[in-house]
Amino acid sequence: MMDQRERFYGLLPQLLGDDERLVAVLAEIGAGYIDPGPVADRVINVGIREQLLVGVAGGLALTGLRPIVHTFAPFLIERPFEQVKLDLGHQDVGAVLVSAGGSYDWPEGGETHMGPRDVALLDTLEDWTVHVPGHPDEAESLLRAAAAADGRVYVRLSAGSNTQPLATDDRRMTVLRRGSRGTVVTVGPMADRTLAATEGLDVTVLYAATVRPFDGGTLRATLNAPDVVLVEPYLRDTSTPQISRALQGVRHRVLGLGVGQEELRRYGTRADHDALRGLDEAGLRRSITAFLA
């Protein structure tokens, strides 16, 4: 199966071909994989210059164009964070930021290419829509919607995907399973393993491919026992405040599962890191069972 990033590279020239308002801005990453064909003038590679990557996006947006900006997550959100804050947010212009690499899609590459902090950092800023697709079809649908919109949108592409697309078109959370002893909210590529880890546990499982704005309404509407587990593919507890806000006035407990802050200084495969970080099926089952006991 073509992964989310490959789908994006194939889709991008089509999007640009269909809408003259769109301009892709790259900082080398992806430039060798994208075949721009007739829209080559609207695929701008600024080289390995990430401050300029986002600054140029802000400038393009100031002239009425819609930039689609792409590189690995740490080089898109962390390195040029002030440009994301000022050149987009403070200028009050829109853009689509599309990251690849997820939290640890290339563990052999080590800490420098890991990007678990992206969504938490964007949470410090105003008015960002954040999509975390769990399947290439979801990625395509969310990218198309983001390109057609006007605001600031972050699309976080991952190497791992679920076997089937699960998201609904209305961006609300999908009810994957109904139970009575608590709710597990699983995000993007974590869905398949969360379903496997909660098999037989009598819990509701909700699936989110769009995490900002957070769909607190579906959480409240489907709530049974007020015990909530969050399974996120990025920094642990990133959405815990969203749960607290959604359940304001309701006594509840929350367990956040995700990538820890600690730097492991380990290489290996994605599966190795899932296990090391307790985010494989066995680890999730262990944590969720202990919390609900």
Partner 1 sequence: MTPAYDDLPALMTLMTGDEKHGASATSTLDVIWVLYDRVLRPEDRFLLSKGHGPMAYYAVLAAKGHITETDLRGFGGPDSILGHHPDRTLVPGVEIGSGSLGHGLGLAVGTALGQRLQGSHARTVVLLGDAELEEGSNAEAIQYAGRAGLNGLTAVVVDNSSASLGWPGGIARRFTVEGWSASDVDGRDHDTLERAFAAPGDSPHVVVAHVERKES
Q: Does 103 bind partner 1 (CB under 8 A)?
A: no
Give the range of 40-48, 148-156, 162-170, 245-253 binding partner 1 by CB under 8 A: 40-48
Q: Does 12 bind partner 1 (CB under 8 A)?
A: no
Q: 188 — phi, psi (to 5°)? A: 50, -125
CB of 146 to partner 1, least distance (A): 19
Give the range of 55-63, 231-239, 241-249, 282-290 binding partner 1 by CB under 8 A: 55-63
Q: Does 258 bind partner 1 (CB under 8 A)?
A: no
What number of chain residues touch partner 1 (CB under 8 A)? 29
Q: Name the token pair of 66.
A: 């819609």
Among the listed residues 232, 260, 266, the one whose alpha carbon sits nearest the alpha carbon of residue 111: 266
CB of 27 to partner 1, least distance (A): 10
Task: With beta carbons less than 8 A apart as the criterion, state whether 149 and 173 touch.
Answer: no
Among 44, 76, 185, 205, binds partner 1 (CB under 8 A): 44
Residue indicated by tokens 């009810």: 175
Q: Does 46 bind partner 1 (CB under 8 A)?
A: yes
Strand partners for 256: 230
Q: Does 52 bind partner 1 (CB under 8 A)?
A: yes
Among 71, 72, 77, 87, binds partner 1 (CB under 8 A): 87
Q: How far is the first Cα of the chain from the last one, in angstroms, to the nearest whole number?
A: 38
Sheet holding 253-259, edge to edge: 174-177, 204-208, 183-187, 227-235, 253-259
Quote the CA–CA distance of 274 and 148 in Å, as a whole number.
35
Exposure of 99 by Cβ count < 10 A (0-12 exposed, 13-18 middle, 19+ buried)?
buried
Instruction: Compare residues 30 and 107 and give the one whose CB is closer to partner 1.
Output: 30
3-state SS, one letter per residue, for 174-195: EEEECCCCCEEEEEHHHHHHHH
Instruction: Compare residues 42 and 212 and give the one whose CB is closer to partner 1.
Output: 42
Among 2, 40, 62, 149, binds partner 1 (CB under 8 A): 62
DSSP-derived 3-state class of residue 255:
strand
Instruction: Compare residues 13 and 233 and give the one whose CB is closer to partner 1.
Output: 13
Q: Does 57 bind partner 1 (CB under 8 A)?
A: yes
Amino acid of residue 61: A
Strand partners for 155: 98, 131
Instruction: Compare residues 76 and 229 and give the one whose CB is closer to partner 1.
Output: 76
Among 41, 170, 262, 263, binds partner 1 (CB under 8 A): 41
Instruction: Compare residues 52 and 176 and give the one whose CB is closer to partner 1.
Output: 52
Neighbours of 110 (CB within 10 A): 14
Q: Does 184 bind partner 1 (CB under 8 A)?
A: no
Quote the CA–CA distance of 250 and 58 in Å, as a whole number.
41
Q: Name the token pair of 278.
A: 């307790």
Q: What residue ranges bind partner 1 (CB under 8 A)?
A: 23, 41-42, 44, 46-47, 49, 51-52, 54-65, 67, 82-83, 86-87, 90-92
